[in-house]
Chains A and B, each alone.
Chain A
Amino acid sequence: MNYKVTIGLETHVQLKTNTKVWCSCANVYGHPPNTDICLICLGYPGSLPVLNKEAVRLTVMTGLMLGCNINTYSKFDRKSYFYPDMPKNYQISQYDKPFCEGGGVEIDVDGDRKRVSLTRIHLEEDVGKNIHHESASLIDFNRAGTPLMEIVTEPDMESADEVFAYLLALKQILTYGAVSDCNLEQGNIRCDVNCSVRPADQKELGTKTEIKNMNTFKGVYRALKHEIQRQIDVVEKGGVIHQEARRWDDLAGVTTAMRPKEYAHDYRYLPDPDLMSVVLSDEQVSKWREALPELPAARRSRLVAEYNIPEYDAKVLAADKAIADYYEEAARLSDHPKVVSNWIMTEVLRALSEHDRGIQQIKISPQYLVDLVKLVDDKTINMPSAKEVFNQMFETGENPSTIVEHKGLVQVSDTDAIDALIVQVLEEHPQSVGDYRNGKKNAAQFLVGQVMRLSKGKANPQIAMEAIQKKLNS
């Protein structure tokens, strides 16, 4: 039987602010445990939270980037539950008046485009971090009170691939907007995944399960692949899907049901009397709207229009804002923006990934990359030499001309010098010469290779090829 899959996501994103959402403790990762905490984030009786203005701005900016309606009136509510990582025994969140509603994220799965609709975006606080030991649990409250934006989608996605594309597109936009560092290793983005299946001819949705607290995109993808198949298997065997929270075991590659006790809460939302409501004026929202950065889709179109590169190139380059910035800096200095794009898409990205570095750590200045492209273009060096020069530039950041000079890589285009080498090669390889004359034209490739070897890689291969063909055809 054919099945339809329905998936919705709740994505939590830590905002890039200096301080926490209700207090002036630093919002940083990696400090010693319980050193960025105060009476407010520890939930001491009598302490009063005060809203961080920047957290509001970043949430609304996100809403504007994702095409949401911005609510002029918002408020905060208490969501009650008991868990040791939540010192107040309630989490301050937004229940019925979030900052943003509606909106969507454009995704593209192998050329199939669609828009994933959003329900809402609200602002809340992150909780502390638990470390579980054999006999006890340890709590670090440094993370408690970190501004956390929750982005909720409609049940709009139909495959693990769509979910993966959604997360990537969302992360790109958030990075472009500098709203969050989006560092997955540091837990900046975490999501809960709601998923159900139903026979293709059935109208009403199947019972959903919720996979909790996923912190890698690959994990979400694998968990969904597994969970979708698990649900189909249950239904095929005539079983019933239970509405439940599940946990992904990355090592075992399976989802398992959490104990009902762990998630069955009666949240009893109520307006938080410690926090005043937020009323955003149209002027304020327009001001933020005007300050919106260029988003990935706009950047892709502009790269195509401005530098005359294919859409494919624009997609690869714009996937990472910093790479696109690097490319543009170089492309503006070069007469050959497409060649610069080729170098970045192949050599630069390869070298970065091999050395596990980001473009921010690259030693090659955009100017030097352009200089290297020029050395190839004006035939000072050939392509194999250029790659050798590139590798050294990547290590040292040196000027390519200096490297070419030191290594003696200047290409030999002098026909007399090349002719001399050809004479020698033809004498040493009568067999290939015979092959060529008997119609095996690719024997010429071998002979060019021999010329390159004799020249220690410095001969201009085009000139060598032309000269060999001329000699053998005469």
Chain B
Amino acid sequence: MSKAYSSHTEKIDVEYVAHLARIKLNEEERERFQAQLEEILGYVDQLKTLNVEGVDPMAHPFPIQNVFREDKTCPSLDHEVAMKNAPQKRNGHFMVPKIVE
């Protein structure tokens, strides 16, 4: 893959990013993603050179605001349906490996 954008100056810690996403990478993937992610960051660096003076930051591409819901209850899922995808359950609860406390 040709590099369309200049590489990011800092080295990205792919191992850390993978940990944040809770995914395991093998050696080949680490190298591939390293290059790809740095290319993305290079693109972002390029964006940073644009003059955005007088442009308000936006949190959303759509110019829509104030989408509200009235405070009225609707039936929830049946308990059995809600629990159907749970790999493990006990006494009406979702069961997970013991959380460190």
Pick the residue among B22, B65, B76, B96 that contacts A139 (CB under 8 A): B96
Which A residue sits closest to B62, measured CB to CB? A276
Taken together as a complex, chains A and B put the C-alpha atoms of A50 and B93 apart, in Å, by 26
Contact with B along A51-85 (1 / 0, CB 8 A): 11111100000000000000000010000101110
Which A residue sits closest to B69, measured CB to CB? A50
> B24 at the A/B interface (Cβ < 8 Å)?
no
Q: By DSSP majority rule, is chain B's interface helix, strand, loop, or mixed?
A: loop
Pick the residue among B74, B77, B91 that contacts A138 (CB under 8 A): B91
Please count how many residues in chain B sit with their CB below 8 Å of the partner chain's CB atoms: 34
> B59 at the A/B interface (Cβ < 8 Å)?
yes
Please count how many residues in chain A sit with their CB below 8 Å of the partner chain's CB atoms: 52
A385: which B residues are within 8 A, CB to CB? none
> A454 at the A/B interface (Cβ < 8 Å)?
no
Taken together as a complex, chains A and B put the C-alpha atoms of A52 and B99 apart, in Å, by 31
Tell me the residues in window 224-281 of chain A with beta carbons closer than 8 Å to chain B beta carbons.
Answer: 259, 261-262, 266, 268, 271, 273, 275-279
Interface-facing stretch out of A24-32, A174-182, A319-327, A360-368: A24-32
Taken together as a complex, chains A and B put the C-alpha atoms of A429 and B83 apart, in Å, by 83
Which of A32, A136, A268, A273 has the most chain B CB atoms closer than 10 A to its own CB? A136
Which B residue sits closest to A258, measured CB to CB? B101
Q: Is the CB of A25 within 8 A of B76?
A: yes
Tell me, rounded to whole Å, the shortest Cβ–Cβ distance linking A77 to chain B. Answer: 8
> B3 at the A/B interface (Cβ < 8 Å)?
no
Taken together as a complex, chains A and B put the C-alpha atoms of A18 and B92 apart, in Å, by 23
Pick the residue among B73, B95, B101 that contacts A25 (CB under 8 A): B73
Tell me, rounded to whole Å, the shortest Cβ–Cβ distance linking A443 to chain B. Answer: 69
Q: Is the CB of A271 within 8 A of B100?
A: no
Which B residue sits closest to A138, measured CB to CB? B93
Q: Is the CB of B65 within 8 A of A36?
A: no
Q: Is the CB of B60 within 8 A of A36?
A: no
Q: Is the CB of B82 within 8 A of A130?
A: no
Pick the residue among A33, A38, A42, A133 that contacts B92 (CB under 8 A): A33
Pick the residue among A32, A53, A141, A262 that contacts B100 (CB under 8 A): A262
Contact with B along A127-156 (1 / 0, CB 8 A): 000111111111111000000000000000
Q: Is the CB of A42 within 8 A of B82?
A: yes
B90: which A residues are within 8 A, CB to CB? 136, 138
Q: Is the CB of A135 within 8 A of B98?
A: yes
Contact with A along B74-90 (1 / 0, CB 8 A): 10110100110000101
User: Given A33-B92, A136-B90, A140-B93, does the pair A52, B98 have CB atoms closer than 8 Å?
Assistant: no
> A19 at the A/B interface (Cβ < 8 Å)?
yes
> A391 at the A/B interface (Cβ < 8 Å)?
no
Taken together as a complex, chains A and B put the C-alpha atoms of A271 and B58 apart, in Å, by 9
> B20 at the A/B interface (Cβ < 8 Å)?
yes
Tell me the residues in window 44-65 of chain B with beta carbons closer than 8 Å to chain A beta carbons.
Answer: 59-60, 62, 64-65
Tell me, rounded to whole Å, the shortest Cβ–Cβ distance linking B9 to chain A. Answer: 21
Pick the residue among B22, B59, B71, B79 that contacts A34 (CB under 8 A): B79
Taken together as a complex, chains A and B put the C-alpha atoms of A259 and B100 apart, in Å, by 9
B93: which A residues are within 8 A, CB to CB? 33-34, 131, 138-140
Contact with B along A79-117 (1 / 0, CB 8 A): 010111000000000000100000000000000000000
> A157 at the A/B interface (Cβ < 8 Å)?
no
Tell me the residues in window 393-414 of chain A with beta carbons closer than 8 Å to chain B beta carbons.
Answer: none
Q: Is the CB of A38 within 8 A of B76?
A: yes
Q: Is the CB of B100 within 8 A of A261?
A: yes
Q: Is the CB of B69 within 8 A of A84?
A: no
Contact with A along B12-33 (1 / 0, CB 8 A): 0000000010100000000000
Tell me, rounded to whole Å, the shortest Cβ–Cβ distance linking B95 to chain A. Answer: 5
User: Given A34-B92, A35-B79, A137-B99, does the pair A276, B65 have CB atoms closer than 8 Å?
Assistant: yes
Which B residue sits closest to A272, measured CB to CB? B59
B100: which A residues are within 8 A, CB to CB? 259, 261-262
Q: Is the CB of A19 within 8 A of B101?
A: no
Taken together as a complex, chains A and B put the C-alpha atoms of A75 and B60 apart, in Å, by 10
Taken together as a complex, chains A and B put the C-alpha atoms of A131 and B91 apart, in Å, by 11
Pick the residue among B60, B69, B76, B91 that contacts A51 (CB under 8 A): B69
Tell me, rounded to whole Å, the shortest Cβ–Cβ distance linking A336 to chain B. Answer: 44
> A17 at the A/B interface (Cβ < 8 Å)?
yes
Apart from A37-B82, A51-B68, A137-B98: 6 A-B pairs, beta carbons within 8 A: A35-B76, A132-B99, A134-B98, A138-B90, A139-B94, A273-B60
10 smallest A-B Cβ distances: which pairs? A138-B93, A24-B74, A54-B71, A53-B68, A271-B59, A50-B69, A33-B92, A139-B94, A276-B67, A84-B96
Q: List 19 A-B contacts (CB under 8 A).
A: A19-B73, A34-B94, A38-B76, A50-B67, A52-B68, A53-B68, A53-B71, A132-B99, A134-B98, A137-B96, A138-B91, A138-B96, A139-B93, A139-B94, A140-B92, A140-B93, A261-B100, A276-B62, A277-B60
